[in-house]
Structures are given as C-alpha cells and as structure tokens.
Structure 1
Amino acid sequence: MPQSMKKQAPDSPRNTPANLHSSDSRALVSRETVQAYLNAATSDSTRKAYRSAIRQFEKWGGRLPTDSETLVHYLLSRAESLNPRTLELHLTAIGQWHRYQGIANPVLEPLVQKTMNGIRRVHARPKQKAKALRLEHIDAMARHLRAQAESKKKYRDLALVLMGFFGAFRRGELVAIRVEDLTWEEEGLIVRLPRSKTDQTGQGLLRALPFGAKVVCPGTALRNWLDAAGIKEGSVFRAVNRWDQVQQKPLNAGAVNQLLKQLGSECGFDFVDNLSSHSFRRGLSTSAAREKVEFELIKKQGGWKSDATVWEYIEEGQRLTDNAATVLMEKLAALSEVD
C-alpha cells in the first residue's frame, strides 16, 4: 500500500482527544492574544470614533463591506450637513474596516477621493478652536474660587485649574494622575504621566511645576486639595458629591469641560461657549509666547512632539505684540508730531 494511503494508527499522538483539545486551546489563546495586541495598537478614543462613524454609515443604509458607488452616494447625501473633517473620519473608519478584513478598500478608489476633495473645497469650514485662557482669566477664576465658602470641592477646583493651566495638561491626563505619579522636590512638583496622547507606547512623560507664590502655585493648591480630601493613594482628582463628600472614583474627563464653562459663566466671561479643557494648553503656550518664553521651554512644558504646533501657538500669542503694523504706526505717529 502506498505510504500516502496508510491509515494513521488510532493511538497516534496527533489524533488523541487530549492533544486535539490542547491544539484547539492553543489556537483560541493565540487568537485572543493577537486580538488583545491589535486592540492595544489603537487608542480607545480612536476606536470609539471609528465605531461611531460606522454606526452612522449603517444608520444611513450602508452595509459593510461596501463599494465606491455607495460611498459616493453617502458623501453626497451628507456633504451639506456634516463638516468635511467628519466625513473624512467616516471614510477613514470604513477604509480601516476593509483593510483589516483583507478586502479591497473602496475608499481608495479615485472617484471617492475626487468627490471628497470637491466636498472639502466647497464646504470647508474653519476649525473651531478652544479659547486660549490668558493670565487674567486664570487670576479671575482663582480669585472667584478662593472667595467661596470652605469646601473640599473648592480646593479641588482650584488645584485643577492651576494644574491644568501651568502644566498644560490634556483633560485625560489630568484625571489620570495618581498620587503614585507625584514626586515632591524642594523646588516644586514633578508629575509622571504613564501614558499620553503623544506617548501611546507608555514610555512615560514628566511634567515639572515649580513652586510659586502661594496664591497662584499649582503645587501648593494640589497639596491643599489632597490634605483636605485625605487622599493618600490612587486617583488625585476625584468626583465630589452634593454633600461635599469625596468619591473613590476618578473625575470624569468630561467634567473638566463642564467645570471650565461653569467657572467662566460665574466669572462673566463672554467666550464661555468656546471654553474647553484645551483652553489650558492653548492658554499656557500663547501666554508664554507673549512673555517671550523660549520655544524649547514652551514645547517641553506642553509635551508637544510637533514643532509646527508650537510655532502656531507662538504666532497666535504674538500676532498683536510682534506686528509689522505696530512699527509703521509708530513711525507715522512720529511724522505727524513733526507736522
């Protein structure tokens, strides 16, 4: 009998139930491990945005996998109601779905790309930017909080505002800070960020906050909050209920925006609608630029990776102080005095 026709012995190790079960278990573990690593390769916020985009496409009537003709119809139906940047996100999410399914990506078809380019040119809208908080705004909020009746929430809010501004923290970074991430030095406070938007691999970033005058010192404000709340470990910024009781769970990231809008309204700011947690980062960078702080120091404090982003903030902060028109007006004023 040819070798290929020989039946394998019943007791062969390859066919025993135990080994078959072991093989299946290894395959299952392998798939789960691969999936875990694939999930870790994309941030939670990006996955959430992609899922939302695909849900909107399916709610419209689209199905995955899809084709270029359907995508063009989708773009045309949403061109006037959605920001082009939102539509681009939808295309990216749909494209990524096809890519990881090993299916030809219809998003890359010339007709889809050309249609998207046309929508972008016709319906482009300026990107809505958060209002950059200035030093006088931080001073107004700090004064308002210090004038309030004694409460734990008062100490928390003051620490959050000063830490957020002088540390140029993102809201996700702020609420993720733990007591174990704090290092107190004679000159100030060092905060270690285990993970950040620009540090997805978890190498860790450090943010330094020197001690300053007590009324505006973020380190002092933070220490006062920790003492008032009795926090010795775990999350630094936590929810406080209506009875001024500190909760165990960390503050929700969305609560940072809510707090800023509330304080802005109470302080009488006329830009409350444009306040968000990003107002801290834009505020620190533009305020530092107006005070002629060096580029590298601004970049380091905010943990920015892109020089272009930092220069954009610097130019925004100095557009009225370093302006060609100022020199010319001074010259014209001098000529007018002579006449």
Structure 2
Amino acid sequence: MTKLDQYLEAAVRDNTRQSYASAIRHFEIDWGGFLPATADSIARYLAHHAETHSVNTLQQRLAALAQWHIEQGFPDPTKAPVVRKTFRGIRALHLSQEKQAKPLLFDQIEQVAQRLNNAVLDARRRCNRGDELRHLRDRSFLLLGFWRGFRGDELTRLLVEHVEVVPGQGMICYFPISKGDRQNEGSTFRAPALSRLCPVDAFVTWITAAQLTQGPAYRGIDRWGHVSDRGLHSDSVIPLLRAMLGEAAIPDADCYSAHSLRRGFASWATSNGWDLKTLMEYVGWKNVQSAIRYIDAGDPFARHRIESQIQSTLVDDAARPRKLR
C-alpha cells in the first residue's frame, strides 16, 4: 500500500467503510445486481426492498452505491431522475416514525449500580475473580456512559492511556477519532467526580483491579478471570447492557439499546434545568437536531405544567374580591 493509499483509507472511518462494503455485497450478491449499475436497476432494487427495509437503510445503500461508482470513475447513477423519483415515492408511501432508544432513567441507573455493588461483594466472598472483574467493569461502563452521555461504541473505543484522572475533581477522556469530529482533530470529554454513583471512582477501581495500564479500557473477561487484550466489540454492547438491566430486575430490559445511556442522561439533564446550549456543549452535539432527538421531556404530556397553571388560576380566582350585587 502506497502512502497515498494509506491517506485515502484513513479519510474514511472504519464503520463507514464496513457499512458501505456490506451495502455493495447486498446489491451484488443478495439481490443479484451488476456493477457498474444502471439507474433503472437501482430503481428496481429500491422498489424490491421498499417494504422490507427502512427509508434510512435504503438511503445508506444509495450512498454506498454512489460512492462505489465515484471511486471507480463511473458516472453516479443514483442521481438519475428515475432513482430520485422512486426514492421520493418510497418515502411518501412507507414513511414511518423513527424508533428511538428507550432512555435509562436516573432511578434505574441507581438500581443497577446498587445491584452491581452487591454482586461485587458476593463475588469476593466466593473468591470468584472472574465475576468480580465483570461486575466492576460493568459498573464503570454504566456510570461513565450515563454521566458523560457516551454512545456504546465510544466506550468500546476508549483507551486507558487516553484517560487522565484528576483526584477529587474528575477525569478527562480523549478520543483521536469520534463521530462528530469531521476534521479528525480529536475530541476531549470531561467526566465529574461525584459524591454518589461516581464514574471516576468506578473507572479507577475497575482498571486497578484489572491491572490495565494501556489499551482498551473495557474488555472481555473469561470465566477464570483472565482479561482479554482486545476491547469489547460494539455489537456486544446491547447484550451486555440488557443483561445488566435484566439482572437488576429492570422491566422491559430488551427495549434498551446502546443509545439508552445517552438518552437517559439528556433527559435527566433537561429535567434538572440544563438549557439546550449547555447540554449540547457537554455531550458534544454540533447541531440542535441531533440534540432534540435524544431529549425526553420530564413531563412529556405537559400534565404537571398545565395542572400547576390550573391550580394557580383557581387560587387567583379565589383571592379576587367579588362584587356585591
């Protein structure tokens, strides 16, 4: 591989490269399309999968096909009128509400963390190092993910050498590459030291017990307590999180996903008076639309707000002097 090839490859993120490669395989192998493709074949491909794939998935497939043609020096057939019109028709007939991750609420975080604390003590009594390490890892994963509003994939990419702990104050997490960092300048996030449910104490306790000094912060652990050299795979985050919730008796544990920690923190923050600008700066959102998608209002039906206004009106009416007839 030449230097030029290395720079070109580095310009595209690994997850984007993988998703685009998967889309091309789906078009060629699963559907039986030919590359380079014609506009008519792509329109037929969209129509064939309109009822089984979401609009977002089809849009990603189009982006992958467009990128393939551009890189190979062919005209981009996805810009043809027949493809654009087909896609508009699919959006009109198959538009559905975007599914969002269920937020993990503060009380639920507290419940899961307490269960993990108890599990750590029980594992120590049984001299089961594997279980002890798993519970310590899971507690750190949960608390850092919630209080920093991290996505699951961000936690799997966090490196120990990129974390700086400031005793009594907090910790600094550095990511050389992150989703919102389009210029690859690196992103820094600060997590606070707290009096309870502290993400800093949980992180230090975990890496100290696991004797980690560099490499992925969150890793697999076998039954004998051996910590893997590799970090957790992003696909393992959802099963890991749901297992934690299920063991803590959180209802509907299977309804939560890797984004539940971020949505939970965003909902907690807005319910406790954080304005949107402050929340965006803390989490790292670059635009309002991204932030709004994650926020669940503390009073989603506005019931408490309306009730308080009704009661206020009743009090004012009762206090107002009545005219004698």
TM-score band, normalised by the shorter chain? 0.7 to 0.9
Of all paired residues, the percent bearing the same amino acid is: 31
| 1:49 paired residue number | 19
d(CA) in 1 for partners of 2:108, 2:224: 28
TM-score by structure 2 length?
Answer: 0.86
| 2:51 paired residue number | 80
Query: Are the structure 2 counterparts of residues 102 and 319 from structure 1 closer, same or farther at C-alpha, using a change threshold of 3 Å?
Result: same
d(CA) in 1 for partners of 2:216, 2:96: 39
| 1:138 paired residue number | 109
Q: Are 1:282 and 2:252 counterparts?
A: no
Alignment match of 1:123 (pick from 65, 84, 94)? 94
Structure-to-structure mapping, 1:220-239, within 5 angstroms: 220-239=201-220
Letter in 1 for 2:227: V
| 2:75 paired residue number | 104
| 1:95 paired residue number | 66
d(CA) in 2 for partners of 1:37, 1:103: 22
Alignment match of 2:289 (pick from 294, 304, 308)? 308
Q: Are 1:166 and 2:182 counterparts?
A: no
Alignment match of 2:165 (pick from 180, 184, 193)? 184
Deviation at residue 114 of structure 1 after TM alignment: 0.8
Alignment match of 2:278 (pick from 297, 315, 322)? 297
d(CA) in 2 for partners of 1:104, 1:317: 50
Conservation of the 8 A alpha-carbon contact between 1:132 and 1:286: yes
Query: Are the structure 2 counterparts of residues 332 and 294 from structure 1 closer, same or farther at C-alpha, using a change threshold of 3 Å?
Result: closer
Is there any run of 5+ residues in structure 2 with no aligned partner, and where?
124-131, 320-325
| 2:8 paired residue number | 38
Letter in 2 for 1:96: Q
| 1:21 paired residue number | none
Equivalenced residue count is: 307
Structure-to-structure mapping, 1:237-256, within 5 angstroms: 237-256=218-237
Structure 2 residue matching 1:132: 3-state secondary structure: coil
Query: Are the structure 2 counterparts of residues 181 and 50 from structure 1 closer, same or farther at C-alpha, using a change threshold of 3 Å?
Result: same
Letter in 2 for 1:101: Q
Letter in 2 for 1:102: G
Structure 2 residue matching 1:147: 3-state secondary structure: helix
Structure 2 residue matching 1:191: 3-state secondary structure: strand
Letter in 1 for 2:144: M
d(CA) in 2 for partners of 1:317, 1:120: 32
Conservation of the 8 A alpha-carbon contact between 1:170 and 1:281: yes
- Rg (Cα) greater in structure: 1
d(CA) in 1 for partners of 2:260, 2:197: 18
| 1:20 paired residue number | none
Conservation of the 8 A alpha-carbon contact between 1:286 and 1:318: no
Conservation of the 8 A alpha-carbon contact between 2:262 and 2:294: no
d(CA) in 2 for partners of 1:231, 1:141: 24
d(CA) in 1 for partners of 2:205, 2:223: 20
Deviation at residue 137 of structure 1 after TM alignment: 1.0
Alignment match of 2:193 (pick from 211, 223, 229)? 211
Structure 1 residue matching 2:88: 3-state secondary structure: helix
Conservation of the 8 A alpha-carbon contact between 1:129 and 1:274: no
Q: Which moved more, 1:249-258 or 1:320-329?
A: 320-329
- What is the RMSD of the two structures over their aligned residues, measured on CA atoms? 2.4
| 1:13 paired residue number | none
Deviations, residues 259-296 of structure 1 (Å, cap 9, x unaligned)? 11111222233332321121111111111000012333
Query: Are the structure 2 counterparts of residues 284 and 212 from structure 1 closer, same or farther at C-alpha, using a change threshold of 3 Å?
Result: same
Letter in 2 for 1:88: Q
Deviation at residue 60 of structure 1 after TM alignment: 1.0
d(CA) in 2 for partners of 1:177, 1:134: 24
Deviation at residue 178 of structure 1 after TM alignment: 2.0
TM-score by structure 1 length?
Answer: 0.83
Structure 1 runs, 4 residues or longer, greater than 4 Å off: 320-324, 331-338
Alignment match of 1:202 (pick from 184, 188, 200)? 184
